[in-house]
Amino acid sequence: MLISVLAAVAVAAYLAATLLIAVPALRGTRLPRLPGATVAVVGVLAHAGYLLVAHRGGLDLHFFAALSVVAMLIAGTTLLVNLVRPVDALGVLVLPLAAALLAVDAWIAPPTQPIAMGWQIKLHVIVALLGYALLSVSAVLALLLLAQERALRNRDVASHWLRVLPPLTLTESLMFRLVGSGFVLLSATLLSGVLFVENLFAQHLVHKTILSIVAWVVFGTLLAGRWRFGWRGRRAVRLLLIGMAVLLLAFFGSKFVLELLLSRTP
**Residuewise pLDDT in 10s, the chain (266 residues):** 788 899 999 999 999 999 988 876 666 555 556 778 899 999 999 999 999 998 887 888 888 999 999 999 999 999 998 887 777 778 888 999 999 999 999 999 988 888 778 878 888 889 999 999 999 999 999 998 888 877 777 765 545 566 666 778 888 899 999 999 999 999 999 998 888 777 655 456 778 888 999 999 999 999 999 998 888 888 899 999 999 999 999 888 877 776 776 666 55
Q: In the prediction, which pLDDT does 199 show?
A: 64
User: Environment class of residue 9 by beta-carbon count within 10 Å: exposed (0-12), middle (13-18) or buried (19+)?
Assistant: middle
End-to-end CA, the chain = 28
Q: Which residues contact 112 (CB under 8 A, 6 or more apart)?
A: 55, 60, 62, 64, 65
Q: What confidence score (pLDDT) does residue 266 get?
A: 55
Q: How far apart are CA 27 and CA 37, in angstroms?
A: 19
Spatial distance between the Cα atoms of 121 and 194, rounded to a whole number of angstroms:
11
Cα separation of 226 and 218, whole Å? 12
Print the SS3 string covering 188-202.
HHHHHHHHHCCCCCC
pLDDT value, residue 28: 56
45 touches 102 (CB < 8 A): no
User: What is the predicted pLDDT for the residue at 86?
Assistant: 75
pLDDT score at 5: 94
Q: Nearest Cα to 221, choosing from 205, 242, 251?
A: 242
- What pLDDT is stored for residue 103 in this prediction? 96
**C-alpha to C-alpha distance for 113 and 58, rounded to whole angstroms:** 8
| Whole-number pLDDT of residue 96 | 96
